[in-house]
Amino acid sequence: MKQAGVTDYLKFARSAIEVIDGAPISLEVFSDEFIEMRRQALKLNALASNVYVKIPITNTKGESAHPLVEELSREGVKVNVTAIFTLEQIDRILPSLENGPSGFVSIFAGRIADAGIDPIPTMKETVRRLSSLPNVELIWASPREVLNVVQADECGCHVITVTHDLLKKTSSLGKDLLKFSLETVAMFANDAENAGFTL
Residue positions annotated with a catalytic role: 54
> CB burial class (10 A; 0-12, 13-18, 19+) of residue 13?
buried
Q: Please report, for residues 21, 92, 122, the alpha-carbon distance to residue 127 in angstroms, rounded to integers and kept in the order given.
A: 28, 15, 9
- List the Cα angle 29/116/122 in 5-degree steps: 60
